[in-house]
Amino acid sequence: MLIDGYAALTAKAALQPHHYPPAELAGHDVLIKISHCGICHSDIHLIDNDWHVSSYPLVPGHEIIGEVVAVGTQVTGLRTGIRVGVGWQAGSCGSCAQCRGGHEQLCAQNMATCVGRPGGFATYVIAQDKFAVPIPATLASDVAAPLLCAGITVFSPLARYQVGPGVRVGVVGIGGLGHLAVQFAHQMGAHVTAFSTTANKQDEAHRLGADHFVLTRAADAMAHAAGSCDLILTTASVDVDWEAFVKVLAPLGTLCVLGAAPHPVAVGAFGLIGGNKSISGSAIGDPATIARMLEVAANHGVAPQIERFAMRDVNTALTKVRANAVRYRAVLAN
């Protein structure tokens, strides 16, 4: 059998059809027949080699939904026919303190789904059983796909910071991650402010659950928002005005960095000291939290707003993502 995928052959290149045999299944691996795969901005960072970890041919894709079609000899929790999702992480060592403590995403040997191995812009993918999470029956596969990376990446810090009624959450960048952050924070009862560079996202941001919308480049808009958020999640794939967002934090507030901004997060010491403010980061989420996030989405109507593309139209979809023109997640279908 050959897998039909789409690969970048060099950095920044358009993807081309690429065919390769599946790797041999290790004991805990499962082979998944892919029905859908979302396009995360991390796929674009990888195609462009922004993080200097890419090797080519590179088959991107890590918001995968599909059906288990083969299992390794040590797999007990999954069987063929089960619908599962795989996100950024396809494996971990399973024995370090982080893995044993339920923080598998922090394992030093964590295996990314599409770094150094072919990902989800393809007909099949392989992942360790623990990282292939069953999908609740009520979630449609195309809508579920973006939850596997965008969804968990925003849900995990919202849960960790115990967001609930009375907490004022800011979301910077209303894209794949951001539009789900607005929905999950709203569902948790928070007061939500969307910070965007795109004026025509305002109405949709309110419909998704934002109480306020701040057009960040409007004169005085950021100054008016000073002190208005307890927790800010930054999801922009570009540098933002970090100093200005530290000022948007209320005393004791936290700015949690999710987007892979290319340059250092530079802020003056006194902006943090003055209000006992913190800057933190957060990486995806562990498999148990992914399962919990999927249940919340299924039971409380949190749903990615998607634009559908055929897998063969992957380059058309990528061009639209690069132009910040997708509302709000492109999903490829086989």
Q: Within 10 A of 323 (CB to CB), how many other CB atoms are there?
A: 8
Question: Which residue number, 38 or 170, has a Cβ lying nearer to Zn ion?
Answer: 38
- What is the three-class DSSP state of 28? coil
Alpha-carbon torsion 58, 323, 152, 280, what sign? positive
Among 7, 71, 122, 149, binds Zn ion (CB under 5 A): 149
| Residue 236, both tokens | 């922009």
Report in angstroms how near the CB of residue 51 gets to ligand NAP at its nearest. 9
Report in angstroms how near the CB of residue 19 gets to ligand NAP at its nearest. 27
283 interface partner picked from Zn ion, ligand NAP, none, CB below 5 to 8 A per type: ligand NAP
Write each residue from 38 to 57 as x if it is in contact with Zn ion (CB under 5 A), else as -, in one continuous string: --x-x---------------
> Within 13 Å of residue 193, how many CA atoms lie on the same side as its CB?
23
Report in angstroms how near the CB of residue 251 gets to Zn ion at its nearest. 33
Q: Within 10 A of 302 (CB to CB), how many other CB atoms are there?
A: 22
DSSP state string for 20-52: EPPPPPPTTEEEEEEEEEE--HHHHHHHTTTTS
Report in angstroms how near the CB of residue 66 gets to ligand NAP at its nearest. 20
| Residue 332, both tokens | 């490829």
- What is the three-class DSSP state of 86? strand
Question: Which residue number, 123 or 153, has a Cβ lying nearer to ligand NAP?
Answer: 153
Examine residue 152 and tell whether it contacts Zn ion (CB under 5 A): no
C-alpha span between 21 and 14 (Å, rounded): 22
Question: Which residue number, 21 or 264, has a Cβ lying nearer to ligand NAP?
Answer: 264
C-alpha span between 104 and 256 (Å, rounded): 20
288 interface partner picked from ligand NAP, Zn ion, none, CB below 5 to 8 A per type: none
Contact status, residue 197 vs residue 244, Cβ threshold 8 Å? no
Question: Which residue number, 3 or 40, has a Cβ lying nearer to ligand NAP?
Answer: 40
Report in angstroms how near the CB of residue 42 gets to Zn ion at its nearest. 4
Write each residue from 102 to 121 as x if it is in contact with Zn ion (CB under 5 A), else as -, in one continuous string: --------------------
